[in-house]
Amino acid sequence: MIQQLLQRVVEDNSSLVDEPSIPSPAEELGQGVPTLKPEFYRPFTPMLKARFEQFGAWQAATHANWLSLTEMVKLWNNSADTGISSTKKMLEIISENWPNDAIALFKPERISVFAAQDTGNERIYLLWFDFSDEPEVWVYDANGEAHYKNLEMYFTAFLDDNLSAFENRWILG
């Protein structure tokens, strides 16, 4: 199910932008999903495994640039030459100046950066809560903040052009 939704998201998003981008090829899955805590990975859930098995990074995707697993790891690197240093700097600015942003509210081992802009505030976090099968999806854009129970709910809301699903709330850890 998630594979079909993901393919539809790619097709639908391509029809919305002037210059559609093609997702990069999938990478080897490796140790798991990197969090913001260096060297700390979360196990692949069924939905995230399906997402990362289909492709790696995707520029100009839904709500920012989707990161590959390699790019997520590069967020740990302090070198200015990581290829993702502008995105990392933007996330640092957000964490220091937006006290109600998930990146400021939660411990780094509870957050993975699914997508981010290097020149703007659009981003998607995966929030890892105890006793949940899949991480929540927290989306930030010009309209504010939205929470989705999982990737399937986020993809479905995107495809239905009904991002009002953000009004739903689940547990907070």
Which among 40-44, 54-58, 149-153 has the top mean pLDDT? 40-44
Given a cut of 60, whether residue 167 has pLDDT beyond it is no
Which among 13-27, 107-121, 122-136 has the top mean pLDDT? 122-136
- 156 Cβ partners below 8 Å, 6+ apart? 5, 165
Q: What is the dihedral of CA 108, 134, 149, 72, to 10 degrees?
A: 40
Mean pLDDT of the chain: 87
What is the average per-residue pLDDT within 159-170?
A: 65
Rounded CA-CA distance 89/94 in Å is 9
Nearest to 66 by CA among 156, 2, 155: 155
Given a cut of 60, whether residue 169 has pLDDT beyond it is no
- Least-confidence region, from 18-22, 34-38, 90-94: 18-22
pLDDT digits (tens, 9 = 90+) for 139-156: 998 778 889 999 999 999
Q: How far is CA 98 from CA 90, 91, 120, 161, in A?
A: 12, 10, 14, 28
Given a cut of 80, whether residue 37 has pLDDT beyond it is yes
pLDDT for residue 84: 87
* Residue 59 CB neighbours (<10 A): 13
Rounded CA-CA distance 78/81 in Å is 9
Output the pTM of the full model: 0.90
What is the average per-residue pLDDT within 77-105?
A: 86
- Least-confidence region, from 5-9, 61-65, 146-150, 163-167: 163-167
Q: What tokens were used for 27?
A: 């990478």
Rounded CA-CA distance 104/168 in Å is 22
Max CA distance (Å), the chain: 41
139 three-class SS: strand
pLDDT for residue 120: 76
Rounded CA-CA distance 161/34 in Å is 29
Cα 94 vs. chain centroid, distance in angstroms?
Answer: 15
pLDDT for residue 173: 44
